[in-house]
Structure 1
Amino acid sequence: MKNFGLLIIIGFMTLNIYSQSKNFIDQPFLETEVETDTLVIPDKIYLTIKLDEEDNRNRRSTEELEKSMLMVLNSLDIDTDKDLSLLDFNSDFKKYFLSSQQVLKAKMYSLIVNDARTAGRVLAGLEKEDISNVSIEKTEYSKSEQLILELKSKAIVKAKQNAENMLAPLNQKLGKAIYISDTNTASLTRQLQGKVAGVQIRGMSSLYGTRAKEDILIDFEKIKFSSKVKVTFVIE
């Protein structure tokens, strides 16, 4: 008897779920999918600077190279306390053993600058101080989270406009949204990491081919952000 009562309850729950599903399907609805995107100029450019006693023409010590690097960065009004950091927990003590008698020290720094012009000035200034082992590691956009939210909002607005335009010839009215799906989680469709793609360098014979004194001009490819949403509206 108890089992019979349980079957009745389960049967009622199944009927209730089926009824709700059927009511949703039976409603006239319109579904539209929209994607919005934009291109932005990166405003966080990561440079890696290697200071090596062996890697300079005049065999200057790491300490001397470090002083020259700081002089260049300070002359460009770069906040070295905030934007310059030492890489690797043991970089201060990283050593290259060339022989049992000789030890050369090296340090690697990470520097963040906010635009291509400053990056070019850093490269040019360091080159004049015989510091040429500098690489561009990656670029980022600092307001990416806010930008993604804005793209989502624009996609929703565009989805509603599309739906209204589709119903206009039918003289039907668009109802409320009953389902919204962020189909690609507002993905960053292009992020430059590692060896940076989309970079063009002009000046100093495309970086150190000669010892020319002109500025180094760098052009970074813009970063593309996109958001795709799918919205289902009731047709009233």
Structure 2
Amino acid sequence: MKKLFAFIVLSITVFTTFSQTKNFIDQPYVETRAKVDTLIVPDRIYLNIVITESDTKGKISVEELENKMAAKLVSLGIDLKKQLTLSDLSSNFKKYFLRKQDILKDKAFLLVIYNAQSAGKVIVGLEEIGISNVQLYKTEYSKMEDLQIALKSKAIIKAKKNVEALLEPLNQKLGKAIYISDMSNYDYQGGADGLVISYASKSSTNFEPIDIDFEKIKVQSEINIKFIIE
């Protein structure tokens, strides 16, 4: 009895799969692929800041440099609690040997800012207090998920219009979609190559940022879709 039941279940499964495949093949359909893209300005800019006693040849401690950095960032309108974090858990304790008798410490931070102008002010401001090891870590767009959904919709609309244009000369109508595949790539982070900074000199010792921009992030959506031909 158990063997008979198993055979019936297997037969139903095979028959159902075969029927679905056969029905799909027997239907007249058209397949197309559509892609849409856009360029966006990043609104999350991450700067990696390293303060080290070696920059001052050990004359200023990491703790003092950290306090100077914090004061400068606050003066530039930075919310330290929300925007500044340690780069890693071991950053508080990083040390290295310069000479046998000397141990110099360093400390790494990650600062997030929200526009290019603020990035320029931070870089120049930290340079003024002797902190020059500042690098662009990455850039992001905070509303990426919403943008991806919008682009998918546009890609589907584009695909539908393309197929309608193909069927119109044939006096045939477009039916419902029977297959959709999202072929988009979702790795959207700007890298360090996107930073461009220029400085205007007021005097030999005073510089201010005149132009800073970030490479825009290209976001695209690509779909593959099959429509029934009625």
Q: TM-score, normalised by structure 1?
A: 0.84
CA distance in 1, matches of 2:9, 2:68: 81
Deviates more, 1:93-102 or 1:32-41: 93-102
Deviates more, 1:214-223 or 1:144-153: 214-223
1:50-104 CA deviation, whole Å, 9 max, x = no partner? 1111213793222221121111111111111011011221322222233453332
The reply to whether residue 202 of structure 1 matches residue 160 of structure 2 is: no
Check 1:16–1:60 CA distance in 2 against 1; reply closer, same or farther (3 A cut): closer
Aligned partner of residue 175 in structure 1, secondary structure? strand
User: Number of matched residues?
Assistant: 228
Contact 2:197 2:209 in 1 (8 A): no
CA distance in 1, matches of 2:212, 2:9: 71
Check 1:91–1:216 CA distance in 2 against 1; reply closer, same or farther (3 A cut): farther
1:232 aligned residue:
226
Contact 1:123 1:216 in 2 (8 A): no
Identity %: 50
Correspondence 1:124-203 to 2 at 5 A = 124-182=124-182, 184=183, 186-188=184-186, 191-193=189-191, 196-203=192-199
Check 1:5–1:41 CA distance in 2 against 1; reply closer, same or farther (3 A cut): closer
**Offset of residue 115 of structure 1:** 1.1
Gaps of 5+ in 2: none
Aligned partner of residue 222 in structure 2, secondary structure? strand
Gaps of 5+ in 1: none
1:217 aligned residue:
211
1:100-151 CA deviation, whole Å, 9 max, x = no partner? 5333222111101111111000001111111111111111111112211111
Aligned partner of residue 63 in structure 1, secondary structure? helix
Contact 1:57 1:130 in 2 (8 A): no
**Offset of residue 21 of structure 1:** 2.3
Correspondence 1:106-117 to 2 at 5 A = 106-117=106-117
CA distance in 2, matches of 1:9, 1:53: 74
The structure with more strand, counted as a fraction of residues: 2
Q: TM-score, normalised by structure 2?
A: 0.86
Check 1:213–1:13 CA distance in 2 against 1; reply closer, same or farther (3 A cut): closer
The structure with more helix, counted as a fraction of residues: 2
Contact 2:92 2:107 in 1 (8 A): yes
CA distance in 2, matches of 1:6, 1:27: 32
1:21 aligned residue:
21
CA distance in 2, matches of 1:30, 1:84: 53
CA distance in 2, matches of 1:99, 1:15: 79
1:208-233 CA deviation, whole Å, 9 max, x = no partner? xx744222632211111111111111
1:162-200 CA deviation, whole Å, 9 max, x = no partner? 111211112211111111111x2x21365334xx12322
Contact 1:56 1:131 in 2 (8 A): no
CA distance in 2, matches of 1:97, 1:46: 29
CA distance in 1, matches of 2:85, 2:77: 16
1:53 aligned residue:
53
Contact 1:204 1:211 in 2 (8 A): no
CA distance in 1, matches of 2:41, 2:19: 52
Deviates more, 1:8-17 or 1:94-103: 8-17
Contact 2:199 2:210 in 1 (8 A): yes
Contact 1:159 1:231 in 2 (8 A): yes
Give the residue type in structure 1 aligned to 2:190.
L
